[in-house]
Structure 1
Amino acid sequence: MHRPEDRPAHPTIEQIREVCQPPEIRGRKNSEHWTGDVFTRSLSPYLTRAFVRAGLSANAVTVGMILCGWAAAAALLIPGWWGPLLAAVLAMGQMLLDASDGEVARWTRKMGPRGIFLDRIAHTTTESLVPMAAGFRIALEADPIDWRWAFAGTLLGMLVLWNKSLNDGSRLARVQGGMPLAKEDTGIKVPTVGWVARARRAANLVPIHRAYHSVEQTLVMLALATVGLVAGFNGVAVAVVILLVAAPFVIAGHTLAILTSSQLKVPATPES
């Protein structure tokens, strides 16, 4: 492993992989998105090397990640099938930048709370803007304009924020309760109540609860837009309805899973 002072200004791809993609990063169960195994961790070192050579900071890359996510949401306003396609491509591009900004931070050893804050802005805003933009798209496509769809998209965006806030809220509760942040490999997020654990395993068979990330949202919209193009229905509208109907159940299940896990339980102290 290269020491910080030994790291060259013009690293090779192998050096980037060695320093920026250690096993503890690639092996994260909850923080590592599935796109990491599919393509982002394979391609990100090339971007990371370019950013390092250009002297860009990790925070600058994260700002680019924010803008890429917003562009993904805005792409949904493009009429026809091309809008959802471009939105899905840009959402995946955001994940590629998400991998790269962390790698730039690890290479330069410039990691801090500001970068984490910007990263949360990137994900939170994009994941809520995608359904909002979809709702406005459907409203504008209607003749006459039907603003009820804009309301539906905005409501879905608020529910996405609600669901996302549960994870951040559980982390904040641990910190304010004097407990350390939960590690990836402790199993602390697994429900300890039997029927809740079984329900969670059953939900994994049809993982609709995983469909509220920006990548998954845009892929669902693209898939249904493709089917709708052939079958003659508005696929983006169907996607919004499905995600909106499922969201309250996802939020309820997510809340129950947190409350019945060990995340918020104060560990027992041994008696002296």
Structure 2
Amino acid sequence: MVVAAPALAELREVCQPQAKLQSRNGEHWAGRLYMRRISLRTTRQLVRTSVSPNTLTWLMVVCGVGAGAALMIPGLTGAVLAAVLFQGFLLFDCVDGEVARWKRQFSTAGVYVDRLGAYLADAALMIGAGVRAARGGSELWVSVGLATALGVVLLKASTDLVDVARARSGMAPADEESTQPRSQGIATARRLASIFKIHRVTNGIEASLVLLATAVADAAVGDIGPTRYALAAIAVITWGMVVAHLASILSSSRLR
């Protein structure tokens, strides 16, 4: 028997709760801008099948890690494929939760794999960028890519470890109000970062688009220089953000 697809309005009410979409840390800007429109229509078809949310989460991981591997392919082909795969990563990141809400199939394993996938995908992209930048030049660029990947992982871990620390101390999860730094200087620096958005290049979705743009520039000038400059800039921003984020956490109420 063919199961009828639910109405989009009904699906949206269940699968895309406004509390999550409007949360500052709960939704990527690309999700709000366009991907949630695409994901809802994809979810509408998937809920008619037996596919599980965890399967979709694993597909997200494959797309993210695959993007890093694709970036190692020379020329525009690799950069385009990496950017497309990261869009697939974002799509499955939206769809797995939507299917879980509709089917009411929630699992701790799914949450774990989702977080693990975010670590692996962003790190893989930076490693792929390092291998790409090293082509025809110094192997030092591989080390730059690895260092950037480590910084990205530390950024994510420093956020997740707040929840670990609070849980082990018997505290409830931190709310958004507690993330506000108590230091005026750090609060000002955070506002400036929010205005200029440079921290976004530490995220794989934005980084894949930046690296696609630099691949176009590489092709135009006939040299890998633009990609190297971009990777060096991402590395500096990432490690600057590691220090700033740690200071922001320690100066806020998240650990109190």
- The verdict on a shared fold, with TM-score over 0.5 as the criterion, is yes
- Match among 211, 220, 228 for residue 230 of structure 1: 220
The answer on 1:178 being equivalent to 2:173 is: no
- Residue 46 of structure 1 corresponds to which residue in structure 2? 41
The answer on 1:217 being equivalent to 2:215 is: no
Paired letter, 1:195? G
Paired letter, 1:32? E
- Match among 20, 25, 30 for residue 20 of structure 2: 25
Aligned 8 A contact 1:182 1:263 in 2: yes
Paired letter, 1:41? R
- Match among 79, 88, 96 for residue 93 of structure 1: 88
**Larger helix proportion, structure 1 or 2?**
2
- Give the SS at the match of 1:54: coil
- Residue 58 of structure 2 corresponds to which residue in structure 1? 63
CA distance in structure 2 between the partners assigned to 1:24 and 1:117 by the alignment: 22
- Residue 206 of structure 1 corresponds to which residue in structure 2? 196
User: Which digits, 9 at most, give the CA deviation of each residue in 1:138-193, with x for residues without a partner?
Assistant: 22x216xx32221211111111111111001111111111111123xx42111111
> Scaled by the length of structure 2, what TM-score is found?
0.93
The answer on 1:253 being equivalent to 2:244 is: yes
- Match among 114, 120, 123 for residue 128 of structure 1: 123
Paired letter, 1:256? A
Aligned 8 A contact 2:202 2:237 in 1: no
Aligned 8 A contact 1:9 1:52 in 2: no
User: Which digits, 9 at most, give the CA deviation of each residue in 1:108-134, with x for residues without a partner?
Assistant: 111121110010111000010101111
Give the CA deviation at 1:13.
2.4
Aligned 8 A contact 1:138 1:236 in 2: yes
- Give the SS at the match of 1:187: helix
- Residue 71 of structure 2 corresponds to which residue in structure 1? 76
CA distance in structure 2 between the partners assigned to 1:191 and 1:9 by the alignment: 50
Give the CA deviation at 1:38.
1.6
Give the CA deviation at 1:80.
0.7
- Residue 157 of structure 2 corresponds to which residue in structure 1? 165
Paired letter, 1:174? R
Identity %: 36
Aligned 8 A contact 1:196 1:257 in 2: yes
Paired letter, 1:261? S
- Residue 179 of structure 2 corresponds to which residue in structure 1? 189
Please say which structure displays the higher CA radius of gyration: 1
CA distance in structure 2 between the partners assigned to 1:71 and 1:250 by the alignment: 26
The answer on 1:240 being equivalent to 2:231 is: yes
Q: Which runs of 4+ in 1 moved over 3 A?
A: none
CA distance in structure 1 between the partners assigned to 2:114 and 2:204 by the alignment: 14
Aligned 8 A contact 2:148 2:239 in 1: no
- Match among 12, 15, 31 for residue 10 of structure 2: 15
User: Which digits, 9 at most, give the CA deviation of each residue in 1:72-104, with x for residues without a partner?
Assistant: 111101111221122112111111110110001
- Residue 144 of structure 2 corresponds to which residue in structure 1? 152
- Residue 270 of structure 1 corresponds to which residue in structure 2? none
The answer on 1:142 being equivalent to 2:136 is: yes
CA distance in structure 2 between the partners assigned to 1:248 and 1:121 by the alignment: 21
CA distance in structure 2 between the partners assigned to 1:176 and 1:81 by the alignment: 47
- Give the SS at the match of 2:48: helix
Aligned 8 A contact 1:127 1:160 in 2: yes
Give the CA deviation at 1:9.
6.4
- Structure 1 stretch displaced more, 21-30 or 53-62: 21-30
Paired letter, 1:121? L
CA distance in structure 1 between the partners assigned to 2:230 and 2:90 by the alignment: 22
CA RMSD in angstroms comes to 1.6
CA distance in structure 2 between the partners assigned to 1:95 and 1:161 by the alignment: 18
> Scaled by the length of structure 1, what TM-score is found?
0.88
Q: 1:28 to 1:9 in 2, by over 3 A?
A: farther
